[in-house]
């Protein structure tokens, strides 16, 4: 059975009083014709340990760009990103990859599961890449699947799972390496309303149970209301949203 203790990262990844994520003065613009499209214009944001924040903003305002930068998948034009206190904006690709592998989990609108691997294998593979032995990786994978009520589907390929089941496997994979930070970009955008609520219930329960910090982009205000606070993007900056 999955427990909060079994999902916690090593003590070295946690520094008391240090935010899990800090974005400081982030700017990002893209070329558009003869000019530039300003997306982020000095965005500041802090996410504390154990906190769940909903990012609720209209399409085209920069939600995905903000998440990509926070997850070290894209570099800002200026500003700093700190993950668990470590400045990351100027790190090389290898160092950024190492931090993503150890400290950050991602959930996307599409599950991106490896189609040739079973549900449990999709969780085992990233753990083994991170250096865990196969036996320990499988034990943790099965515990996560059991926590999400998917242990009876562990040997099924993604094509044999429902949309909601695939997305719950994707959530389990995102936390398989015991990250400190979970970033989710419209994680139920491809699901019907009933399945969407079920998947969000599983996601929030897992985040609460493991003490993760999470930044979750969603259009669903009912679900966003269950998070600790909500933010939006206005004129390229992060602002509170009631």
Q: Is 10 domain-assigned?
A: no
Q: Is 3 domain-assigned?
A: no
**Average pLDDT per consecutive 10 residues, the chain (242 residues; last block may be shorter):** 41 63 96 87 96 91 93 95 94 93 88 92 93 93 92 95 91 91 86 81 85 90 90 95 80
Q: How many domains does the chain divide into?
A: 1
pLDDT at 79: 96
Q: Is 232 domain-assigned?
A: yes
Q: Is 115 domain-assigned?
A: yes
Taken in order 152, 171, 7, 121, the sign of the CA dihedral is positive
Q: Is 183 domain-assigned?
A: yes
Q: How far apart are CA 7 and CA 207, in angstroms?
A: 10
Q: How far apart are CA 43 and CA 152, in angstroms?
A: 44
pLDDT at 15: 53
| 3 state SS of 107 | strand
Q: Is 9 domain-assigned?
A: no
CB atoms within 10 A of CB 10: 8
Q: Judge contact between 175 and 5, C-beta under 8 A.
A: no
Q: Is 89 domain-assigned?
A: yes
Q: Is 224 domain-assigned?
A: yes
Nearest to 39 by CA among 233, 212, 227: 233
The domain of 151 spans 21-240
pLDDT at 219: 85
CATH number of the domain where residue 52 is located: 3.40.50.300
């Amino acid at each position: 059975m999955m427990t909060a203790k079994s999902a916690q990262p090593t003590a070295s990844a946690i520094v008391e009083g240090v935010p899990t994520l800090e974005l400081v003065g982030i700017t990002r613009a893209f070329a558009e014709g003869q000019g530039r499209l300003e997306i982020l214009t000095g965005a500041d944001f802090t996410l504390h340990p154990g906190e769940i924040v909903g990012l609720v903003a209209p399409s085209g305002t920069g939600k995905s760009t903000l998440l990509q930068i926070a997850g070290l998948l894209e570099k800002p034009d200026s500003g700093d990103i700190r993950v668990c206190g470590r400045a990351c904006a100027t790190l090389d690709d290898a160092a950024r990859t190492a931090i993503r592998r150890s400290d950050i989990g991602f959930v996307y609108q599409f599950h991106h599961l490896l189609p040739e691997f079973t549900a449990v294998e999709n969780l085992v593979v990233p753990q083994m890449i991170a250096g865990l032995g196969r036996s320990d990786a499988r034990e943790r994978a099965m515990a996560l699947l059991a926590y999400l009520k998917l242990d009876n589907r562990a040997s099924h390929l993604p094509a044999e799972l429902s949309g909601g089941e695939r997305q719950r496997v994707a959530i389990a994979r995102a936390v398989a390496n015991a990250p400190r930070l979970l970033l989710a970009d419209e994680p139920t955008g491809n699901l019907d309303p009933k399945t969407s609520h079920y998947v969000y219930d599983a996601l929030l329960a897992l985040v609460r149970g493991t003490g993760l910090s999470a930044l979750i982009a969603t259009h669903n205000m009912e679900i966003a209301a269950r998070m600790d606070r909500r933010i939006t993007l206005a004129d390229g900056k992060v602002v509170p949203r009631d």
